[in-house]
Amino acid sequence: MAQSNKIFKNWNGHRIVYINKLEKKINYYFKNVDLLEEAITHSSYQRNDLKIKNNNYERLEFLGDRVLGLVLSEYFFKTYPNAKEGVLDNYFQRHANQENLFNYAKKINLSTYLKTQKGDDLENNKSILSDVVEAMIGAIYIDTGLNNCKKFILNNIIDKNLISEPSKHPKSILQEYCLEKFKTLPKYSILNKFGNEHEPIYEVCVHVENHDMVSATGSNLKNAEEAAAAKLLDMLKI
């Protein structure tokens, strides 16, 4: 049985113990611990608890994603005053992407604290664990405001190794190409979303002037857009 399920079975009897353990790992202690519990509750759990309705991480993840974006953007803007927009965007994408957030989740063993439906094993689910990290950021913001969010993000999400020797992502390369050649940005749009609720697949298309639309799929919007950009760059031989 997965370790996360062991904790799931003991949640009701040892709620505060597990909350305190997680608070110690993230080095932030909540005034309202209900916010942290909501941030680590998967939507599958509420189907087993009629007392909890819509009380899962999804709304906090929505907020945390925006707060993370703001904090990272401000940090890179102020820390690298001579960097061009493309370089700043590269730094941003490296830190806001699913892989970086998942690495932090693995570091603190976050999957062992999730409240999920019995039988779920989310230890290697990048999509859900990265979303929960964003949900915790949203919870901290609601709990005590932006300054503590900044401390959490700068201490835990910023990775100096991701800043040195930046390599350009396909989206960044395509963006620079379009700005130079067409004086406009590439346009991305969602064509489809399919798969199960826990692991959806997105189909995204990208369009630039004077070229046919190109589509690709990914486990989230960011990955799908990167894949579409890479496919178009290959067609353009860039």
Residues marked as catalytic: 65, 134
- Using DSSP's 3-state secondary structure scheme, residue 50 falls into coil
How far apart (Å, rounded) are the C-alpha atoms in residues 8 and 14? Answer: 10
CA distances to 16, 30, 41, 106, 113 from 13, in Å = 9, 20, 16, 25, 14
Q: Where are the alpha helices (DSSP H) in the chain?
A: 3-10, 15-26, 33-39, 43-46, 58-79, 85-96, 98-107, 126-144, 146-156, 170-182, 221-236
